[in-house]
Amino acid sequence: MSTFQQLELLCKQENIEYICDAIMCDYTTFRIGGKADFLALPDSVSKLEALVNCSKECGIDYTVVGKGSNLLVADSGIRGLVIVTSHMDDIELLPDNTVVCSAGTPLIKLCIFALENSLGGLEFAYGIPGTVGGAAYMNAGAYGGEMKDVVVSCSHIDNDGKNGVFTAEELAFGYRKSIYEENGFIITGVTLKLFESTKEEIRAKMNDFLSRRKDKQPLEFPSAGSTFKRPEGHFAGALIEQCGLKGYSVGGAQVSEKHAGFVINKGGATAQDVLELVENVKNTVLKETGVMLEPEIKFVG
């Protein structure tokens, strides 16, 4: 029995949805990427653990993704197992305005849950197209708020396949980073502490932030969100625009004419198009401004 046949057998035994030769452009907001050898969509932590343990026993590499909102997948795809957490989306309200949710919960679903329960603190995240686990992984933020402001702890599976929990202090949150970028653990759940507010106030903030996103960001095109991290003392989009790169294209990839901080897929863009465009933008901005831009997008495959 081949290693992938073992994974297939596990998925059938555990009732885990799976796809062989999955097309990864269907699982990223960039709509870019080749095939994954084997893709599985567990709906519980125990099924996720089973997949990780099986892949380790079989010597298969695995990659964990949520909604694929911050990813650029190689044109050649991803070898091994891809675990998509989007079916792990449970939310539970605990006493003292505490919320526990699975890692694959879409941020927009969590924000609406908070609104329905008159809980403030997450308005900044409304409209960010990712999962809670992904947002905690990179300490996502916008409009003056960040995940570190509301996250109390994260549960995870470590590199030995064991369950664990990190408190907020142990998460080592920084600008668009957390301890998980360094240790490679898999986030399985996130606990957040919110505060009582009125639905009217929460809804007003959410609508305001969403309106600003629609006005300033190229939401009508596939992208991976902000392409570059914010350089200290600068704004990436402003630097790129200053260098006359708005609208600059390589193949189907383009620096958005609406917001230069976004690289968009105008149609048929390849990962190679994006990589070449990003490298050219970095080099031009460094040459003309002396500022080195650091990509925020994660490249896999």
Active site residues: 176, 226, 296
Give the whole-angstrom CA distance, residue 197 versus residue 295. 36
Nearest to 300, CA basis, from 8, 4, 27 = 27
Alpha-carbon distance of 233 to 104, in angstroms, equals: 34
| Cβ atoms within 10 Å, residue 164 | 13
Contact 285, 260 (CB under 8 A): no
**What are the structure tokens assigned to 21, written together?**
């030769």
256 burial class (0-12, 13-18, 19+ CB within 10 angstroms)? buried
Rounded Cα distance between 38 and 23, Å, is 10
Query: To which residue do tokens 């893709």 refer?
Result: 39
Would you tell me how many other CB atoms lie within 10 Å of the CB of residue 201?
12
